[in-house]
Structure 1
Amino acid sequence: MLYIFLFLEKNFQNFPFCTITSFSLYCLISLLLYRTVSKSFPYFFILFSKLLFSLYFCTAVWAGEHERLLYDRLTHGYNVLARPVKNESAPIIVHLGMDLQAIIDIDEKAQIMQTNIWVRMSWEDIFLTWDPAEYGDIKEVRLPITSIWKPDVLLYNSVDQRFDTLWPVNAIVKYNGSVTWIPPAIIRSSCRIDVTSFPFDDQTCAMKFGSWTYSGFFTDLYNDSVSLDPYTPNGEWNLLSVQSVRNRLVYDCCPEPYVDVTFLISVRRRTLYYGVNLVLPSLLISSLALLGFSLPPDSGEKLNLCVTIFMSLCVFMLMVAETMPQTSDTLPLIEVFFTCVMFEVGASVICTVIVLNFHHRKADSYFPMPSFMRIILLEWLPWLLCMQRPPRVKLSDGTGEKLLKDIVGEINNNNEW
């Protein structure tokens, strides 16, 4: 009788349901066994307690049993290394799509784009099929992606330390063998930044996905749709478009073609921040450089104004240099503008020093002006600059004319003597 009790206790958990009738039946059998095996009461009490514990926690639904049996059937003898195809020479078709969640950051200096995406991959697995009528009308199940075959699709231009950042979530498997895997990921990919038109620039960054070891003869990728419904706008960049392109390339290492799906993300920089904090102040400071030429030479603030403008432009140029990548491929136009204005201000400082030097000289400290220089500076240049020509005075001896300024200078020199 003790062996009968052990058999019942061992096989009770395999019953498809637990009812009050079965519980009453087992209690009655236990009481009968108690009378027959009273000598082994301690061991009988332990077995009876285990029986009550199993009764309390048993699952009384057919659906859970069907799902458990289906999981056992799908994973029993399954080889995660073998491609799920009948013909080994036939490629397995993988459809690759993407749901763009957010553009986290675009680092111009490091030329890296960081995004939050959901990668959508789907393929057919002939070893994961069943008849729903045999398993309680179950048409789809969730299986760990590590327990089934999956394509070794990786991001070719990844700059992350782990390289593969796809989160290993469960795959959705349908009764006809269709497998859908949608892993989320925070991706850091390399992106070539063209800063020529900064801060009014458009950038296009690529994310290249492809099989790492399987050629196009064994794993063939096809681009699927790109969804922007869950996209969260970025504060610095406006999203223009997202496109997916399928490429079939032959590399130098291997004669077989390799297929990849490349997602092209086009963005445009928001210019309000840089316009208020960089462009507008630089234009105002550059306009002040022109005012420096209008100050009279004997003004002591002319040189100070030019030096102050020069230092301000240096500060703005450093601000742009800190943002831009350290590359010699392209040069931002705004830096070219700053450089030209700095040369202009530098030339203004040099000219101001020369003019002040001549202005504070005495008349006898320099040689007379040559006649051709006098014609250029006193005749042509004033006419070209729309300035009034200096007045002339005819000499009393009839030898010619002299500028009134020269005559006044000679009189002052005679008075000093």
Structure 2
Amino acid sequence: LQKSWPRKEGSLFSTGRSSTFTINCSGFDKYGVDPAVFQTIFNQKDFRPVINYSIPTQVNISFILSAILEVDEQLQLLTSFLWLKLVWNNPFISWDPEECGAISKLTVTTENLWLPDIFIVESMDVDQTPEGLSAYVTSDGHIVYNKPMRVTSICSLDIFYFPFDQQNCTLTFSSFLYTVENMLLGMAKEVWEIADTSRDIVRTEGEWELLGITKATPKMSVGSSLFDQIMFYVAIRRRPNLYIINLLVPSSFLIAIDALSFYLPAESENRAPFKITLLLGYNVFLLMMNKLLPASGTPLISVYFALCLSLMVVSLLETIFITYLLHLATTRPPAMPRWLHSLLLSWASPRTCCPTKLWKENMGPGLTPPHLPGPKDPGQLVGKELAPREAELSGDSGLTSTQLAGLWVQFSHMMDTFLFRLYLLFLASSIIVVIVLWNT
């Protein structure tokens, strides 16, 4: 059954005083849209739809940031997904909704409409807008065009505070053809509405969370031409939970175990191998977790890892040094300078509370330190009158080699305690500095 269109007398378009057309929409509610009614308007799609070319076209912009797909620190790129909304007016389109069953909005394919050439200045990729999209056309000539966009844009990234970093990227919308004499840009929504809607959508997606969106409206000058533009500043923050669990926690555990390894006896043969094992394990950990770190730049977390590795190396060197002193004391102890002898006397005095004194008390009378022959308590031998058979002296110190060995053992424990406290002080101060920098 072929439907016939009721025709009014005259043309489908009536020409007004302002050269605008009023579409005859009779039958829209019963027979659908007659394509011939819009054909004259479709034929004008190659020209900017204005009655007076001295009047610029107002294009209002808004968007929804639905996803932050990737942040490439090495190439300084932000890949995001937007739903862009453009609204402008076509003065050649208008009809009376009361004449066509209260139909006030129609969809028209974008191939039949003039579209503003809005692009993102920071974009580094070709616009891959799907074909066959449609736009809403209202009875008063407003055109609402929504299109999805995958945007790869330049963004100056500062990764020093990784993984607690915040980034501020810019999306600048402008025209590359129409100057301010031909096109002006405005807002289809308030910027806080754009930020709230985008934040609700991005909230549970991906590694990044959206903090806020602000805007600015500077003009862009290219030679003698002036273009209108709108700059949106997108503030995003990285979710650090993944990196805290996989990077910071294991590293902190390893450095804590290295600090506790100082409580192993200095004479023990297991302290150095234990520290070497920790050092090798930490290197393996860094190699495995290297893919989680930014590929470029020097973030603060890399400085933290280098600091922990350096402290482990220093700890191993300290153990080697103490082991060397103990070995020297048990084989051929050298003569001890008087100032060092006096220092040991003051360090081991009863008024001084130090690990060496505690070590001596734990040894008790009559006990010999491991791997050491001779006197049980080197401190008790200081100033003791020697028997003729113990007249084997070392230099002019008046001490036998056995007594001298005991003093060198005492000096080794004193240095072990001092270096351990220095190690803890440097470790604590370094961690506090890193935490303060991260909090800023």
Q: What SS does structure 2 have at the residue aligned with 1:309?
A: helix
Match of 2:382 in 1: 393
Q: How does 1:150-299 map to 2 (within 5 A)?
A: 150-160=115-125, 163-168=126-131, 169-225=133-189, 226=194, 227-228=197-198, 231=201, 233-237=203-207, 239-251=209-221, 253-299=222-268
Asked if 2 retains the 8 angstrom alpha-carbon contact of 1:115 and 1:188, the reply is: yes
Q: Offset of 1:351 from its aligned partner?
A: 2.1
Asked if 1 retains the 8 angstrom alpha-carbon contact of 2:28 and 2:101, the reply is: no
Cα distance change on mapping 1:89 and 1:307 into 2, 3 Å: farther
Q: Offset of 1:282 from its aligned partner?
A: 1.3
Determine the C-alpha separation between the residues in 1 that align with 2:272 and 2:202.
Answer: 52
Determine the C-alpha separation between the residues in 1 that align with 2:79 and 2:274.
Answer: 44
Aligned residue identity for 2:282: L
Q: Offset of 1:194 from its aligned partner?
A: 2.6
Aligned residue identity for 1:350: L
Q: Deviations over 1:37-90 (max 9, x none)?
A: xxxxxxxxxxxxxxxxxxxxxxx9984365323232432x31x33222233233
Determine the C-alpha separation between the residues in 2 that align with 1:136 and 1:198.
Answer: 60
Cα distance change on mapping 1:277 and 1:132 into 2, 3 Å: same
Q: Deviations over 1:1-29 (max 9, x none)?
A: xxxxxxxxxxx968438xxxxxxxxxxxx
Determine the C-alpha separation between the residues in 1 that align with 2:64 and 2:335.
Answer: 81
Determine the C-alpha separation between the residues in 2 that align with 1:309 and 1:107.
Answer: 33
Q: Offset of 1:314 from its aligned partner?
A: 2.7
Match of 2:318 among 338, 351, 369: 351
Unpaired segments ≥5 residues, structure 2: 7-26, 361-377, 388-395, 408-440
Q: Offset of 1:248 from its aligned partner?
A: 1.5
Q: Deviations over 1:89-130 (max 9, x none)?
A: 332111110123333343445443333321111011123334
* Structure 1 residue 119 corresponds to structure 2 residue 89: no
Asked if 1 retains the 8 angstrom alpha-carbon contact of 2:47 and 2:114, the reply is: yes
Match of 1:406 in 2: 403
Determine the C-alpha separation between the residues in 2 that align with 1:323 and 1:379.
Answer: 52
Cα distance change on mapping 1:363 and 1:265 into 2, 3 Å: same
Q: Offset of 1:303 from its aligned partner?
A: 1.5
Determine the C-alpha separation between the residues in 1 that align with 2:212 and 2:247.
Answer: 30
Aligned residue identity for 1:307: I
Q: Deviations over 1:350-409 (max 9, x none)?
A: 222222233223666463132234445664599595532851432437998749952677
Q: Deviations over 1:179-207 (max 9, x none)?
A: 11011223333333332332233333332
Asked if 2 retains the 8 angstrom alpha-carbon contact of 1:103 and 1:233, the reply is: no
Cα distance change on mapping 1:320 and 1:218 into 2, 3 Å: farther
Asked if 2 retains the 8 angstrom alpha-carbon contact of 1:103 and 1:234, the reply is: no
Match of 2:54 in 1: 89
Asked if 2 retains the 8 angstrom alpha-carbon contact of 1:112 and 1:190, the reply is: yes
Q: Offset of 1:256 from its aligned partner?
A: 3.2
Asked if 2 retains the 8 angstrom alpha-carbon contact of 1:243 and 1:263, the reply is: yes
Determine the C-alpha separation between the residues in 1 that align with 2:179 and 2:338.
Answer: 85
Cα distance change on mapping 1:73 and 1:258 into 2, 3 Å: closer
Match of 1:325 in 2: 294
Determine the C-alpha separation between the residues in 2 that align with 1:408 and 1:245.
Answer: 76
Larger Rg: 1
* Structure 1 residue 312 corresponds to structure 2 residue 301: no
Q: Deviations over 1:160-190 (max 9, x none)?
A: 3xx2133341111122211110112233333
Aligned residue identity for 1:91: P
Aligned residue identity for 2:281: S
Determine the C-alpha separation between the residues in 2 that align with 1:240 and 1:279.
Answer: 24
Q: What SS does structure 2 have at the residue aligned with 1:231?
A: helix
The RMSD of aligned alpha carbons is: 3.6
Unpaired segments ≥5 residues, structure 1: 1-11, 18-59, 411-417
Asked if 2 retains the 8 angstrom alpha-carbon contact of 1:223 and 1:246, the reply is: no
Determine the C-alpha separation between the residues in 1 that align with 2:199 and 2:303.
Answer: 41
Asked if 2 retains the 8 angstrom alpha-carbon contact of 1:313 and 1:338, the reply is: no
Q: How does 1:130-145 map to 2 (within 5 A)?
A: 130-132=95-97, 138-145=103-110
Cα distance change on mapping 1:273 and 1:147 into 2, 3 Å: same
Determine the C-alpha separation between the residues in 2 that align with 1:259 and 1:61.
Answer: 39
Cα distance change on mapping 1:239 and 1:299 into 2, 3 Å: same
Aligned residue identity for 1:101: S
Q: Deviations over 1:226-282 (max 9, x none)?
A: 13387154454463433241322334x423333322333333333333232222211
Determine the C-alpha separation between the residues in 1 that align with 2:310 and 2:317.
Answer: 10
Cα distance change on mapping 1:250 and 1:236 into 2, 3 Å: closer
Cα distance change on mapping 1:140 and 1:301 into 2, 3 Å: same
Match of 1:342 among 292, 309, 323: 309
Match of 2:428 in 1: none
Cα distance change on mapping 1:94 and 1:232 into 2, 3 Å: same
Cα distance change on mapping 1:347 and 1:128 into 2, 3 Å: same
Asked if 2 retains the 8 angstrom alpha-carbon contact of 1:317 and 1:335, the reply is: no
Asked if 2 retains the 8 angstrom alpha-carbon contact of 1:171 and 1:182, the reply is: yes
Match of 2:373 in 1: none
| Percent identity of equivalent pairs | 24
Match of 1:5 in 2: none
The normalised TM-score by structure 2 is 0.68
Cα distance change on mapping 1:125 and 1:104 into 2, 3 Å: same
Cα distance change on mapping 1:126 and 1:300 into 2, 3 Å: same
Asked if 2 retains the 8 angstrom alpha-carbon contact of 1:195 and 1:324, the reply is: no
